[in-house]
Amino acid sequence: MKSEVKSTCCYCGVGCGVIVEAESGRITGVRGDPDHPANRGRLCTKGATLHLTARPECRLLQPEVRSRRAMPGTVVTWDEALDTAADRFAGIIRAHGPDAVAFYISGQLLTEDYYVFNKLAKGLIGTNNVDTNSRLCMSSAVAGYKQTLGADAPPCSYADIAEAGIIFIAGANPAVAHPIVFRYIEDARAANPELKVIVADPRRSETAAIADLHLAIRPGSDIALFNGMLNVLINENLIDDQYIASHTEGFAALRDIVRNYPPAIAADLCGIATADLLRAARWFAGSGPALSLYCQGLNQSVHGTRNNVALIHLHLATGQIGKPGAGPFSLTGQPNAMGGREVGGMANLLSAHRDLASPADRAEMASFWGVPFVPVQPGKAAVDLFKALKSGEIKAVWIACTNPAQSMPDVGAVREALGAADYVVLQEAFADTDTADYADLLLPATGWGEKEGTVTNSERCISRVRAAVPPSGAARHDWDIAVDFARRLGRKLNHAAADRLFPYAAPAEIFAEHCASTRGRDLDITGLSHAVLERDGPQQWPYPEGATGGRVRLYEDGVFPTAGGRARFVPVEHQPTAEVPDAELPISLISGRMRDHWHGMSRTGTVPRLFNLEDEPLLAMHPCDMLHRGLADGDIASIRNGRGEIRVRVAERTGLAKGRAWLPMHWGSQFMNSAGANGLTSAAADPYSFQPELKHATVQVERLDLPYPLAVLRRCADTGEALALLADARRLLGEFPYATIGLYGRQSPLVVGRAATAEPLSAELIAALDARFGMADEEGAIVYADASRRVSKKAVARGGRLMAIRLAGEALAQVWLKQAMAEDELDAGLIRFALAPSARPPVSVTPRNIVCKCADVSDVQIADALARGDDLGGLQERLKCGTFCGSCVPDIRRLVAAHTDKQPAAA
Ligand code: SF4
């Protein structure tokens, strides 16, 4: 039976509404929810392919106990699993105290899950050791808002994008990381040609490409930029003296500091032209409502909090806050980092924006929960949590819905910590994350499409997440696992109130308790419930009892949630990055995101078409840096520093200044022969937010001489077959000094393995690869061998289609082969061409550019359809191009216009 359910996308903090289609217990489709205020029916590529990620092959389906880590474990019942976990936790707590255990959870959990974990740690066990991967993402934004505005409350809404006169994007790349927000920026530009867009980013990102002014600042020079702009605003009388006098405090002290940042000096610190800094400041103050959008580029820094603070100063000094189109708008990374912040689910936070350091707030929360106390000692934030695990101070960790063995900085040290821990529980939906190797106990959790609860997006909007299908296998909901464990642990610790503390039978009951905990707070949502959200749809907070709607914009009255009601200027000075390039480590490595992948790829890495933009991690470098190192486009390079080494191919990019390189953060050990970017990143952290400097590290880059390349590709019948082959290819290529494994294509997906080695490949390894990639059977195989050059190639065709190919010793054709195979462009007569030593495809293989990346439609397909008589509507109807996120519609229009111009005029 077919059904449709409204829910929310589980990727980024834009929080788009989706309609999930299901049939016979399987998710079959997804489309944007036209009624959801965050996206009004639009979805980006990730959201539009969510249904393709709901596959059983990659799921953890049964509880499993391991006697040896990284080895297959024993399937157990839930009773056995949770009793074992409760025994181990209770034993450690009795012997070493409550701070000897910790919970490391996730901004992808729902608010209800978060609430239960937080209460379990702080209320039942009596430790504040509950931290989350949101620490890596948004904690500097939290601290920045609190230091200046008094509360962790983003004051803006997406509606402000349309009202802005200038949009200042700093340390964010919404074109790929928040695509639907980027669509709103494009819409605003189309509606208002006067709108100015400034982007401050060390790299010419996809967002910077559309900016009126790109400030390619040095990594870590954000405070110098903002202080320099404020210097200009003050000296040119562009500040709002009345707003400063009426609604803020601390301006005089900051003004004294900012005197030291005249435009020339500030611009020099940033490595930009003085004229550009002056222009940025004047535009900020003189273009109408000023809206700032910012994210990890500010947050993931040793001075992330102060980066946020310095940007917020610009708004306070000009009165650009609390009015339409204006304000400092922090874009949330994860889908429910906001919900986690609201329930206080971090080591230094307390529920409903209460202050952990305040005795009154702790007493209030203890009374609300009905426990004797909430511990005073702040818990360990993420970096310190894993350090304590390594030193033995923390002995057991419960990890839920996150993958620290890939996502933490200096991940080699984190893996050592997990290896050293007495006991590791992993509660996960996916079976094969890098962290799974370190677990003693694996607990299968429900995933997107199976869960019920709520999430809060960047604009404080709370949406329902709804189940479209039943749980997979024996998976249970995250909140339910935590509640069951809490009750069992309470009994083992003789905590008589455990059952009373965790009485919930459904997530609506947990949400009701969370709402009650917010009464009288700045985020008061006592007027909300699951029933209200069912009836009225998503709502922004605050939404107190008796309200009829949420609040679009905060601080419209100029009153802030500080003791005196005034926003605060904080003295901030430029500071260097944790690591400064030197002769030994001369390259500034910047990590970042790609549009089609999400975090560690446990979900997006199961969808072949999401690899079509780039199917391997490429290090982007400036041509001069490459030349200096004897590197050509596509060469393999070693990137290293004192923490580790990774090996990837390099790609020439002119959008980077000399001395800077850029690497995507998505690839980990599941898709390459190293831990990925975080093998190199630094664990140095901000002193206020404890957020580490994941964005930047210094490295050396050197050409790696691996003269024996290997490329192996196989066409699979379906994604299930491809995923199984991917897992085996990972093992077969595991010992190569360089290897990447990925998917590609659409209908009949490809598995693509690339590797290189210093020695010729052994006959045994080639035989093993051929066997697993379906090339062992000589019948129908085409073989080429040149023993003198150690070159050995083999291709297998079936029915005139190239099914698999292995190129060993020389692999130039890999450059074009995957597209030709995916598009079925090599007929039987041309298959031999694939074995030739040529980087150029045969003439029958048409080079093409993908125009619509969501629907994977190329310029060649569009040209063919236009030749058949289609217009824009026909293209959208037949090819579906331009019907998802809409960003390619201008390009399609240009192709249609060019085709029309070429047609002979009507008689
Ligand atoms: Fe999901 Fe894309 Fe919307 Fe983010 S922008 S919530 S990834 S559909």
Please report the atom of ligand 1 found closest to the CA of residue 14. Answer: 6
Please report the atom of ligand 1 found closest to the CA of residue 179. Answer: 5
State yes or no: pLDDT of 514 exceeds 90.
yes
Of 490-499, 639-648, 763-772, 832-841, the range with the lowest mean pLDDT is: 832-841
The response to whether residue 267 sits with its C-beta less than 6 Å from ligand 1 reads no
Could you give the CA distance from residue 386 to residue 135 in angstroms, rounded to a whole number? 13
Please report the atom of ligand 1 found closest to the CA of residue 178. Answer: 5
Q: What is the 173 CA–ligand 1 centroid distance (Å)?
A: 14
The residue-averaged pLDDT of 515-537 equals 97
The response to whether residue 50 sits with its C-beta less than 6 Å from ligand 1 reads no
The response to whether residue 12 sits with its C-beta less than 6 Å from ligand 1 reads yes
Which pLDDT score, from 0 to 100, does residue 843 have? Answer: 64
* Top mutation candidate among 44, 465, 603 for ligand 1, by most atoms within 8 Å of CB: 44
| Closest residue CA from atom 3 of ligand 1 | 16
Pairing state between β 453-456 and 461-465: antiparallel
Please report the atom of ligand 1 found closest to the CA of residue 48. Answer: 8
The response to whether residue 744 sits with its C-beta less than 6 Å from ligand 1 reads no
Q: How far apart are the first and last CA of the chain?
A: 55
Q: What is the 39 CA–ligand 1 centroid distance (Å)?
A: 8
pLDDT band at residue 496 using 50, 70 and 90 as cut-offs:
confident
Which pLDDT score, from 0 to 100, does residue 847 have? Answer: 65
Which pLDDT score, from 0 to 100, does residue 907 have? Answer: 38
Pairing state between β 781-786 and 696-703: unpaired
Could you give the CA distance from residue 875 to residue 850 in angstroms, rounded to a whole number? 14
Residue-wise pLDDT tens digits, 624-645 = 999 999 999 999 999 999 999 9
The residue-averaged pLDDT of 117-143 equals 96
The response to whether residue 38 sits with its C-beta less than 6 Å from ligand 1 reads no
**Average pLDDT for the chain:** 93
Q: What is the 887 CA–ligand 1 centroid distance (Å)?
A: 14
The response to whether residue 394 sits with its C-beta less than 6 Å from ligand 1 reads no
Q: What is the 14 CA–ligand 1 centroid distance (Å)?
A: 6
Q: What is the 665 CA–ligand 1 centroid distance (Å)?
A: 18
Q: What is the 46 CA–ligand 1 centroid distance (Å)?
A: 7
Q: What is the 904 CA–ligand 1 centroid distance (Å)?
A: 43
Please report the atom of ligand 1 found closest to the CA of residue 12. Answer: 4
* Top mutation candidate among 16, 183, 463, 599 for ligand 1, by most atoms within 8 Å of CB: 16
Residue-wise pLDDT tens digits, 828-853 = 667 777 777 765 666 666 666 777 86
Give yes or no for a contact between 609 and 615, defined as CB atoms under 8 angstroms apart: no
Give yes or no for a contact between 636 and 648, defined as CB atoms under 8 angstroms apart: yes
The response to whether residue 177 sits with its C-beta less than 6 Å from ligand 1 reads no
Residue-wise pLDDT tens digits, 82-115 = 999 999 999 999 999 999 999 999 999 999 999 9
Phi, psi (degrees; rounded to nearest 5) at 425:
-105, 135
Give yes or no for a contact between 311 and 227, defined as CB atoms under 8 angstroms apart: no
More confident residue, 722 or 613: 722
pLDDT band at residue 905 using 50, 70 and 90 as cut-offs:
low
* Top mutation candidate among 43, 331, 458, 463 for ligand 1, by most atoms within 8 Å of CB: 43
The encoded tokens of residue 749 equal: 């997906």
The response to whether residue 17 sits with its C-beta less than 6 Å from ligand 1 reads no
Q: What is the 863 CA–ligand 1 centroid distance (Å)?
A: 30
| Closest residue CA from atom 8 of ligand 1 | 47
Which pLDDT score, from 0 to 100, does residue 887 have? Answer: 62
pTM: 0.93
State yes or no: pLDDT of 798 exceeds 90.
no
More confident residue, 166 or 798: 166
pLDDT band at residue 494 using 50, 70 and 90 as cut-offs:
confident
The residue-averaged pLDDT of 469-483 equals 97
Please report the atom of ligand 1 found closest to the CA of residue 15. Answer: 6
Q: What is the 536 CA–ligand 1 centroid distance (Å)?
A: 22
The response to whether residue 664 sits with its C-beta less than 6 Å from ligand 1 reads no
Strand, coil or helix: what is 900? helix
The response to whether residue 730 sits with its C-beta less than 6 Å from ligand 1 reads no
Give yes or no for a contact between 10 and 3, defined as CB atoms under 8 angstroms apart: no
- Which residues 6+ apart lie within 8 Å of 684 measured at CB? 302, 578, 579, 692, 693
The response to whether residue 14 sits with its C-beta less than 6 Å from ligand 1 reads yes
- Which residues 6+ apart lie within 8 Å of 494 measured at CB? none
State yes or no: pLDDT of 648 exceeds 70.
yes
Q: What is the 885 CA–ligand 1 centroid distance (Å)?
A: 10
Strand ranges for 229-272 from DSSP E? 248-249
Q: What is the 880 CA–ligand 1 centroid distance (Å)?
A: 19
The response to whether residue 44 sits with its C-beta less than 6 Å from ligand 1 reads yes
The encoded tokens of residue 291 equal: 């809206």
Which pLDDT score, from 0 to 100, does residue 877 have? Answer: 82
Please report the atom of ligand 1 found closest to the CA of residue 45. Answer: 2
| Closest residue CA from atom 2 of ligand 1 | 44
The response to whether residue 9 sits with its C-beta less than 6 Å from ligand 1 reads yes
Q: What is the 690 CA–ligand 1 centroid distance (Å)?
A: 27
Q: In which region does residue 598 sit, left (phi positive, over 0), alpha (psi from -120 to 50) or beta (all else)?
A: beta
The residue-averaged pLDDT of 435-460 equals 97
The response to whether residue 753 sits with its C-beta less than 6 Å from ligand 1 reads no
Which pLDDT score, from 0 to 100, does residue 412 have? Answer: 96
The response to whether residue 233 sits with its C-beta less than 6 Å from ligand 1 reads no
Q: In which region does residue 473 sit, left (phi positive, over 0), alpha (psi from -120 to 50) or beta (all else)?
A: left
Which pLDDT score, from 0 to 100, does residue 55 have? Answer: 85
Which position has the token pair 């040290």? 413
The response to whether residue 179 sits with its C-beta less than 6 Å from ligand 1 reads yes
Residue 823 burial (C-beta neighbours within 10 Å; 0-12, 13-18, 19+): middle
Whole-number Cα distances in Å, 333 to 12, 299, 408: 6, 10, 15
The response to whether residue 181 sits with its C-beta less than 6 Å from ligand 1 reads no
The response to whether residue 180 sits with its C-beta less than 6 Å from ligand 1 reads yes
Residue 497 burial (C-beta neighbours within 10 Å; 0-12, 13-18, 19+): middle
Give yes or no for a contact between 329 and 338, defined as CB atoms under 8 angstroms apart: no
The encoded tokens of residue 662 equal: 């850029």
Q: What is the 11 CA–ligand 1 centroid distance (Å)?
A: 6
* Three-class secondary structure assignment of 694-755: CCEEEEEEEECCCCEEEEEEEECCCHHHHHHHHHHHHHHCCCCCEEEEEEECCCCCEEEEEE
Angle at which helix 222-235 crosses helix 274-286, to 10 degrees, equals 60
Which pLDDT score, from 0 to 100, does residue 767 have? Answer: 92
Which pLDDT score, from 0 to 100, does residue 789 have? Answer: 87
State yes or no: pLDDT of 884 exceeds 80.
no
Which pLDDT score, from 0 to 100, does residue 906 have? Answer: 46
Query: DSSP character for 205?
Result: -
Q: What is the 692 CA–ligand 1 centroid distance (Å)?
A: 25
Q: What is the 782 CA–ligand 1 centroid distance (Å)?
A: 45
